[in-house]
Structure 1
Amino acid sequence: MILTPFEWTIAKRYMMPGRGETFIALVAGISLAAVMLGVAALIIVMSVMNGFRAELFDKIVGLNGHAIVQAYGGRIDNWEEVLQEVRETPGVVSASPLIEAPTFLTFNGRSAGVQVRGNTQQDIAELAPNVLIGNLSRITPESGRVAIGVRLAENLGARVGDVITIFNVQGRPTPFGTVPRQVGYEVAAIFEVGVFDYDEAFVIMPIKDAQTLMLTGDTIGMIEVTTTDPDKVGEILAPVKASLEGQAQVSDWKTINASLFEALAVERVAMFVVLSIIVLVAVFNILSSLIMLVRAKTRDIAILRTMGATRRSLMKIFVTTGFVVGALGTVAGIALGFTFLFFRQSIVQGIQFVTGIELWDPSIRFLSELPSRTDPWEVLTISVLALVLSFLATLYPALKAASTDPVQVLRYE
């Protein structure tokens, strides 16, 4: 829709109402602000939801791989053969033996339920970017050293160099009954994965030390698998699942965390629908402001018609007047949304400081910080949605303006 110089001049005049039209200008300003806030809210919420899913996926998959091969009964005896078979499966990037068992530990009179995790040296070394204090290179087989999560360290009051005692409740049978096995380990490193449950419960040690602690001999509990495409992990590992049927089960990240990611997907759709209503309400403001503008400019419209202005020209003038409000609100909303996302953590901390209320509790939100990941296609979709709704809102007032009968308006002038 290309405007002639005449049409653009009239449209600009109507975008800036003159004396006595303050109320119309106020409604138009409110409309612009409402579109801005609606677009910004959609961009912020969708980016945070995307970031939440992406961060959870990265951290959970980074620690657990894309899939887990776990034997029935919790022990894989011929694990070397199974491991070799998994590694030779097309689409598998890596596969590592793993031991994971729930137990508890004590330190200075404090105790906590923990998840002991026995990893290979390579897997332990990959945890290096998450280490806050200490050195993972000191954690070697039979060194008696472990790494613990930062939340667990805070709960126990443990620091690097302290010795914690880990129990295996199964223990060994004696004439006096089963005595729990307890082993002291030096804390060599404290890490933060960023997922609250992991940082609060995980104790990382070499796989050989975990075998000794849990009295499993030369067996492992599971095999951690990473594939080329996490979204096709089920298809990639289908041959392994068929081969190990009756011996072990293959659980991918979708199955293990199904309830969490499904809840996120449902909430994401629900939030988009609910927040889209804000944009719709803002568009109704544009509609009402244009209707008032048309009523206020009825005499002007009649004069323009007598001077030769066509109905098409009047349609274009009023559509442009309303659409520009929606377009400016959309651009301002995008800018506001990105600004909020850039300073999101500072804003959350500021609100917490002012209100005294903890808005982001890691024990509830899983992650340590408010995440964000903006999808350009989603931003484009939100922008197009706002612009299309703004355009549709201008059609009725523009049609009313174009259908004005100059004879009826000016007959008594």
Structure 2
Amino acid sequence: MILSPFEWTIAKRYMLPGRGEAVIALVASISIGVVMLSVAMLVIVMSVMNGFRAELLDKIVGLNGHAIIQAYGGRLENWEQVLEDVRKTPGVTSASPLVDQPLMVTFNGRVEGVLLRGNTPEDIAKFKPNVLMGDISSLQRGNDKVAIGSRLAMNLGARVGDVITLINPQGRSTPFGTMPRQVGYTVGAIFEIGVYDYDESYVVMPIPNAQTLLLTGNSIELIEVKTSDADRVGEILAPIAQKLQGQAVVTDWKTINAQLFEALQVERVAMFFALSIIVLVAAFNILSSLVMLVRSKTRDIAILRTMGATRKSLLKIFVTTGSVIGAVGTLAGLVLGFIVLLFRQPIVKGIELVTGQNLWDPSIRFLSELPAKTDPFEVLLICLMAMGLSFLATLYPAYRAAGTDPVQVLRYE
């Protein structure tokens, strides 16, 4: 829609109401503000929801892979052959054996439930970027070094160099019954993955050491699998699942965390719908401001008609006026949204400092920090929605202005 110099001059005049039109200017400013806040809220909320899902998926997959292969009964005896077959499967990028067993740990009279993870040296080395204290490379086959999560270390009061005791309830049989197996291990490293549940429960050691503690011989519990496409993991591992039928079960990340990710998806859709209503409210504000503008400018519109202004020109003028309000509000909302996302963590800390409330409790939110991931397609959709509703809100006032009859208006002038 291209405006002539005359039409653009009138449109600019109506975009900046004079002193005698303070109410119209106020309503127009409120319209811009509501559009700005609605767009900013949509961008912030959707980015945080996307970031939460992506960060959670990345951390969960980083520890448990895209899928796990678990034997019936919990022990995979011929795991070397199964591991070789899995690695040869097209689409599989890596596969690692894994010992995963819930145990108890005690230190200085404190007792906590933990999850023992026996990893290969390659997988243990991947913890290095997450190490807060100690040396992850000190975990070697045959020694007594382990790595523990930061929250677990805090709960136990343990530091690097302290000796913690792992308790295996399935110990050796004696004439007096089964005696739990208790073995002391030195804390060689403390790590923080960023997922509260993992940092609170994980104890990591080499696989042979875990097998010795658990008295399982050469067997393992799981094989961790990563694929080239997380969304196609079921399709990629279908041949392996069929081959291991009756011996082991293949479970992908979608099944393991189904309730969590389904809840996130439902909440994401619900938030988008709820916040979209605010954009609709902003569109009604634009409509009301334009209706007020048309009513106050009825005499001016009639004079313009008598001077030769066409209905089409008036239609273009008022559509442009309302659309510019929507465009300015949308642009301001994008700027505000990106600024808030950029400084989201300091903002959360500042609000916590002022209110004294813990807004981001890792024990509830799973992650240690507020994540964010902006999807360009979603941002474009939000902008199109805001601009589209703003445009639709201009049509009724514009048609009213274009339908003004100068004879009726100026009859008694």
TM-score for both structures, normalised by structure 2: 1.00
In structure 2, the residue matched to 1:301 is 301
- SS of alignment partner, residue 19 of structure 2: coil
2:79 counterpart residue number: 79
Partner of 1:155: 155
- Partner residue of 2:393? 393
Q: C-alpha separation between the residues in 1 aligned to 2:231 and 2:279?
A: 33
Task: Show the counterpart of 2:369.
Answer: 369
CA distance in 1 between partners of 2:140 and 2:309 (Å): 86
Alignment of 1:147-296 (within 5 A): 147-296=147-296
Once the 2 structures are TM-superposed, how far is the Cα of residue 127 of structure 1 from its aligned partner? 1.1
How far has the Cα of 1:396 moved from its partner?
0.2
1:326 counterpart = 2:323? no
1:398: how far off?
Answer: 0.2
Q: Deviations over 1:355-382 (max 9, x none)?
A: 0110000000000000000011111110
Q: 1:343 — aligned with what?
A: 343
Q: Quick one: which amino acid aligns to residue 366 of structure 1?
A: F
Aligned residue pairs total 413
Q: Distance in 1 between matches of 2:54 and 2:228?
A: 17
Asked if 1:384 is matched to 2:387, the reply is no
**Residue 20 of structure 1: CA displacement?**
1.3
Residue 39 of structure 1 is matched in structure 2 by 39
Deviations 1:261-311 (A, max 9, x none): 011111111100000001100110000000000000000000000000000
Distance in 1, matches of 2:139 and 2:405, equals 88
Letter in 1 for 2:181: R
**Structure 2: runs of 5 or more not aligned:** none
User: 2:127 aligned with 1:134, yes or no?
Assistant: no
TM-aligned CA deviation for residue 332 of structure 1: 0.2
How many percent of aligned residue pairs carry the same amino acid?
A: 72
Equivalence for 1:125: 125
Report the residue type matching 2:389 in the other structure.
L
Query: What are the superposed Cα offsets for residues 4-40 of structure 1, whole Å, 9 maximum, x if unpaired?
Result: 0000000000011012100000000000000000000
How far apart in 2 are the matches of 1:390 and 1:270?
Answer: 23
| Structure 2 residue aligned with 1:68 | 68
Residues in 2 aligned to 1:217 and 1:19: alpha-carbon distance in whole angstroms: 88
Alignment-derived partner of residue 314 in structure 1: 314
In the TM superposition, what whole-angstrom CA distance separates every residue of 1:212-234 from its partner, at most 9, and x where no partner exists? 11111110001000111111110
Separation in 2 of the partners of 1:95 and 1:391?
Answer: 54
Measure how far apart 1:177 and its partner are: 1.1
Deviation at 1:143, TM superposition (A): 1.0
Tell me the SS of whatever aligns to 1:158: coil
CA distance in 1, matches of 2:142, 2:327: 66
Partner Cα separation in structure 1 for residue 359 and residue 205 of structure 2: 34
Whole-angstrom CA distance in 2 between matches of 1:4 and 1:208: 81
Secondary structure of 2:94's aligned partner: strand
Amino acid at match of 1:20: G
SS, match of residue 318 in structure 1: helix
Partner residue, 2:7: 7
Give the distance between the partners of 1:334 and 1:209, measured in 2 at CA.
Answer: 54
1:176 shift after superposition: 1.0
What amino acid maps onto 1:44 in structure 2?
I
The one-character-per-residue Cα deviations of 1:156-207 (angstroms, maximum 9, x if unpaired) are 1111111100000011110111110000001011111110000000000000
Aligned residue type for 2:331: V
Task: Give the letter aligned to residue 70 of structure 1.
Answer: Q
Unaligned ranges ≥5, structure 1: none
C-alpha separation between the residues in 2 aligned to 1:19 and 1:108?
76
- TM-score, reference length from structure 1: 1.00
**Would you say 1:29 and 2:29 are equivalent positions?**
yes
Identify the residue that residue 16 of structure 2 maps to in structure 1. Answer: 16
Partner Cα distance (1:19, 1:26) in 2: 11
1:122, 1:116 → 2: CA distance? 17
CA RMSD of aligned residues (A): 0.5
Structure 1 runs of 4+ with >4 Å offset: none
Separation in 1, partners of 2:275, 2:255: 30
2:219 aligned partner, one-letter code: T
Distance 2:380 2:237 in 1: 36
Distance (whole Å) between structure 2 residues aligned to residue 141 and residue 287 of structure 1: 73
Amino acid at match of 2:327: A
Whole-angstrom CA distance in 2 between matches of 1:211 and 1:127: 20
* Cα deviation digits, residues 112-152 of structure 1 (max 9, x gap): 00000000000000111111111111000111100000000
